[in-house]
Structure 1
Amino acid sequence: MEIDRLKKWMETAQQYQSEKFWNNVFDSQNKSSPSLNPIKTVSELFPKCDLYETENELVVEAEIPGVLKENLHISIHHHLLTVTGEYKTLVQNRKYFIKERPNRKFTKEITLPYPVNIQKVKSEMRYGVLSIVMPINREKIEDIPITFNRE
């Protein structure tokens, strides 16, 4: 009886060690609706980011420890900042006793509150935090006049 329970436990543990299992759990390319798929919702929250404004700049800070520069991409299109990357932690032919850090791809999209000067954007990685500094393009901010009809 105990042997059967041990076998079931080993089969379950084996499942959690497979790369395919973890890719399915953290696959950000899943086409399911976020409201129907809680895993998708979790992946949308990752990486954790802060967006704040200084006097003349917008700054994003994103926690992405362990991501290599060659596995990271930053783009800005209109008012949308997109940070994509991939964690690569799984080493083939290695016998894992614990494997809690899966390979996973991520995409983080942040809508910027102001237009930015894309040619002057700077980014740097320090201690696992990606900082993106974007000068606000004040020339592109337009005030829309409001007219009132008096009757």
Structure 2
Amino acid sequence: MDIEKLKQWMEIAQNMQGGGFWNNIFDQEFSKQFLDDQSFKSSSAASKDQVSREKQPESPVFPTIEMLEGDQEVYVIIELPGLNKEDIELGLAGDMLTVKGTNPPIYPELKRSYTERFSGDFRRQIKLPNTITPDQLSAKFWNGLLIVSYPRAYSKVDIIPINE
């Protein structure tokens, strides 16, 4: 692959994923120095990346989740601090649970000098260990936690006779 095509590919990936994309992929000092070389960044991408590093840390995945599997039930706990149940939408397609909504800024009229808090539209897809139907799901919202549960599915094992 020639270097110009590599530069173009890296620039497209940075614009699509944000400046921290390559820092997450290459976490070694040498790679960071190589990627911080201004010849690999357009001036707008470089200044955008520099501003985002100064203003806020790497964006965490939002919302954070925890999946718990018991003998009888599976629980998915989705953290949505500061939101109400009216702010979120929950969907299911096969074994893929989707939660989406909008997390508005607390003080939108004020300039952020530093933040670790996510705000804006979000959509998170969670792969469940089983394929289930929506009527098997139970969801409740409690203290900023969306708790989704469903009965654990066990496959019935059929005994197959062995002929002589």
Common fold by TM > 0.5: yes
Partner of 1:9: none
Q: Is the 8 A contact 2:84 2:144 kept in 1?
A: no
- Equivalents in 2 of 1:84, 1:105: separation in Å? 8
Q: Deviations over 1:36-60 (max 9, x none)?
A: 8369x96672211011212222110
Q: Is the 8 A contact 2:100 2:121 kept in 1?
A: yes
Match for residue 79 of structure 1 among 69, 77, 95: 95
Matched, 1:123 2:139: yes
Moved more, 58-67 or 100-109: 100-109
Shift of 1:103: 3.4
Mark the CA change 1:116 to 1:56 in structure 2 (over 3 Å): closer, same or farther: farther
Would you say how many aligned residue pairs link Structure 1 and Structure 2? 112
Mark the CA change 1:118 to 1:128 in structure 2 (over 3 Å): closer, same or farther: same
- Equivalents in 2 of 1:32, 1:96: separation in Å? 25
Partner of 1:112: 128
Unaligned runs of 5+ in 2: 1-14, 26-57, 158-164
Mark the CA change 1:34 to 1:54 in structure 2 (over 3 Å): closer, same or farther: farther
SS in structure 1 at match of 2:76: strand
Q: Is the 8 A contact 2:140 2:148 kept in 1?
A: yes
Partner of 2:75: 59
SS in structure 2 at match of 1:32: helix
Mark the CA change 1:136 to 1:44 in structure 2 (over 3 Å): closer, same or farther: farther
Partner of 1:32: 16
Partner of 2:64: 48
CA RMSD of aligned residues (A): 3.7
% identical aligned pairs: 21
- Equivalents in 1 of 2:133, 2:139: separation in Å? 14
Unaligned runs of 5+ in 1: 1-30, 144-151
Mark the CA change 1:135 to 1:44 in structure 2 (over 3 Å): closer, same or farther: farther
Q: Which amino acid aligns with 2:67?
A: L
Mark the CA change 1:57 to 1:90 in structure 2 (over 3 Å): closer, same or farther: same
SS in structure 1 at match of 2:92: strand
Mark the CA change 1:97 to 1:51 in structure 2 (over 3 Å): closer, same or farther: closer
SS in structure 2 at match of 1:70: helix
